[in-house]
């Protein structure tokens, strides 16, 4: 599979697939496709994982696009969220935890599951919701966060504080927690709220430059 990302605030992702290659995508992301691309709606990951996604208020079904010829093309985009589309390659040995609404598509060889935050306070006060997507396996994954995306590589024990709602994805090796802003003047005058997300390395963390209110509602619904 080959890919090309074109555009800026509403980019289009074009995938070139060989015969038998396929991808899964979130609903409503199709822009165009070759005649040799066949589309179907499937219960991805089997019934158990589908039920887990449903428990996390995710859809049980995803759209699958499979190529029946070489050099078939399909173009996808998230028209609801102006932002940046970024490619991630899963090597079979790592796991990526990501914001649910940022998922655009992945190769079918990538495993999609959900993971629940261990700390209730993180879901209530962190602005990230109780549930994240957990991506593993081998293949390409494409995320579409809101605004620009910034990558941080944290060393062992190195902390990074992320503003509420701006966390996109992180390696499983990174510790996620929500901490209280201790100084009272920060609470009332900084407009940052009572809590902030603390990420502790080792591993990579990806953040987005801004937050869409409608996007946040999709996370919390």
pLDDT-based confidence at residue 180 (cuts at 50, 70, 90): confident
Give the model's pLDDT for residue 104.
Answer: 93
- Model confidence pLDDT, tens digit, residues 33-53: 999 999 998 766 555 555 555
Is the distance from CB of 105 to CB of 70 less than 8 angstroms? no
What is the average pLDDT across 194-213? 85
pLDDT score for 126: 46
User: Which pLDDT band holds residue 57 (cuts at 50, 70, 90)?
Assistant: very low
Q: Which of 29-33, 59-63, 103-107 has the lowest mean pLDDT?
A: 59-63
CA separation, residue 186 to residues 122, 183, 192 (Å): 19, 5, 7
The confidence band for 184, taking pLDDT boundaries of 50, 70 and 90, is very low
Q: Is the pTM of this model over 0.85?
A: no
Strand ordering across the sheet containing 195-200? 159-162, 195-200, 175-180
The residue that leads in pLDDT, 213 or 197, is 197
Among 126, 146, 123, 118, residue whose Cα is nearest residue 193: 126
Instruction: Give the model confidence (pLDDT) of 123-153 as tens digits.
Output: 444 444 567 889 999 999 999 988 899 999 9
Query: Residues 79, 82, 87, 88: is their CA dihedral positive or negative?
Result: negative
What is residue 85's three-state secondary structure?
coil
Read off the pLDDT of each residue in 6-16 and give the average, rounded to a whole number. Answer: 92
Portion of the chain with pLDDT greater than 90, in percent:
50
- Provide the pLDDT for residue 119: 53
Q: How confident is the model at residue 44, as a pLDDT?
A: 62
Q: For position 219, what pLDDT does the model report?
A: 41
pLDDT (0 to 100) of residue 60? 58
For residues 64 and 30, what is the distance between their CA atoms, to the nearest angstrom? Answer: 11
Select the more confidently predicted residue: 3 or 221. 3
Q: Write down all domains in the chain, each with its CATH number in brackets.
A: 2-220 (3.60.160.10)
């Amino acid at each position: 599979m080959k890919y090309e990302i074109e555009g800026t605030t509403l980019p289009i992702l074009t995938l070139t697939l060989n015969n038998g290659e396929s991808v899964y995508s979130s609903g409503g992301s199709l822009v165009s496709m070759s005649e040799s691309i066949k589309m179907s709606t499937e219960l991805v990951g089997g019934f158990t994982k589908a039920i887990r996604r449903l428990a996390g208020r995710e859809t049980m079904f995803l759209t699958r696009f499979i190529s029946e010829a070489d050099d078939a093309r399909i173009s996808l985009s998230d028209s609801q969220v102006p932002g940046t589309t970024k490619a991630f390659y899963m090597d079979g040995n790592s796991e990526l935890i990501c914001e649910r609404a940022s998922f655009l598509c992945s190769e079918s060889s990538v495993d999609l599951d959900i993971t629940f935050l261990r700390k209730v306070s993180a879901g209530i006060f962190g602005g990230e919701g109780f549930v994240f997507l957990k991506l593993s396996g081998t293949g390409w994954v494409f995320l579409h966060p809101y605004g620009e995306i910034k990558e941080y590589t944290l060393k062992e024990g190195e902390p990074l504080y992320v503003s509420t709602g701006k966390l996109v994805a992180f390696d499983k090796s990174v510790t996620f927690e929500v901490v209280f802003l201790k100084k009272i003047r920060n609470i009332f005058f900084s407009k940052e709220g009572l809590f902030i997300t603390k990420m502790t390395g080792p591993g990579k963390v990806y953040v987005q430059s801004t937050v869409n209110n409608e996007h946040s509602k999709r996370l919390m619904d």
